[in-house]
Amino acid sequence: MATPSLKLRLHVLGSKIHKWLAIFVGLQVLLWMGTGALMSFLDLEEVRSEHVVSRTSQALPIDASLPAWVENRGSLASVTTRSLDGKAVTEVRKVDGTVSLHDPSSGQKLSPISAEAAKSIALRAWTGPRTTIAATRIIDEPVGTEFRGPFPAWQITYGDEASTRIYIDASSGTIGAARSDTWRLFDFIWGLHIMDWTERDRINSWWLLLFGIGGTIIALSGFVLLANRMPRIRRRTKRQKAA
């Protein structure tokens, strides 16, 4: 009996590796596709229970103990004294979501914060290699998928290699988002992954649902084809037919 050639042996070995590896990899592919299709059916509002649980801020009681300069007409959600850029400020937040900053003693309004204050906050927040502020501008509308509010906000661009940007709420002085080239690459890839090329956060698109169902069918049919190619199954089938 002739010895199988090296090419034939490699072909047989490759086929076996491919077959058994396909089982393990195929199981995960099936899970990816199947769960992706199921998630596309779900409404995010229901997933987060937003349709039955209100997250609206509650108003402070009229008789709540507050600084003398704060006037409470039932529209306040919170009055908090905190640190901002190394200084004490009092943040007044209303139930409608609006925020204003004040001097804790006099009540003088400090917001919206200035460009200089925003730059100082940005430099204080930076923990990477030493850098500078490359650009500063006020924005009043969404910036692609990078930032969607609240507005107005300061867009601060650092002079680092990753072109890092942070967005600071002009009303409260808080940092709302930090974006870099790494985030932008991830955002682009994420959009391709969930098949949402504009908003990057919709997992209920028909595209994703259709491809999820199609991928699930392909994975299942692949297991059927793989089962038919298994040697033991073929031999067992032949024996049953012979009997």
Convert the pLDDT of each residue in 64-112 to its tens digit: 889 999 989 889 999 999 999 999 999 999 999 999 999 999 999 999 9
DSSP three-state, residue 228: helix
- Taking only Cα atoms into account, the Rg of the chain, rounded to an integer number of angstroms, comes to 30
Backbone torsions φ then ψ of 222, nearest 5 degrees? -65, -40
Tens digit of each residue's pLDDT (9 = 90 or more) over 72-82: 988 999 999 99
Closest C-alpha among 207, 136, 217 to residue 170: 136
Please enumerate in sequence order all residues whose Cβ is within 8 A of that of 137, keeping only pairs 6 or more positions apart, or say none. Answer: 154, 155
Tens digit of each residue's pLDDT (9 = 90 or more) over 192-235: 877 777 887 777 777 777 777 877 787 777 777 767 666 655 55
Specify burial of residue 91 (Cβ count, 10 A radius: 0-12, 13-18, 19+): buried
User: Whole-angstrom Cα distance, residue 169 to residue 153?
Assistant: 5
Closest C-alpha among 158, 184, 155 to residue 169: 155
pTM: 0.75
User: Whole-angstrom Cα distance, residue 1 to residue 121?
Assistant: 82
pLDDT value of position 143: 93
Please enumerate in sequence order all residues whose Cβ is within 8 A of that of 99, keeping only pairs 6 or more positions apart, or say none. Answer: 91, 92, 93, 111, 169, 171, 172
Mean pLDDT over the full length of the chain:
84
pLDDT value of position 169: 97
pLDDT value of position 238: 56
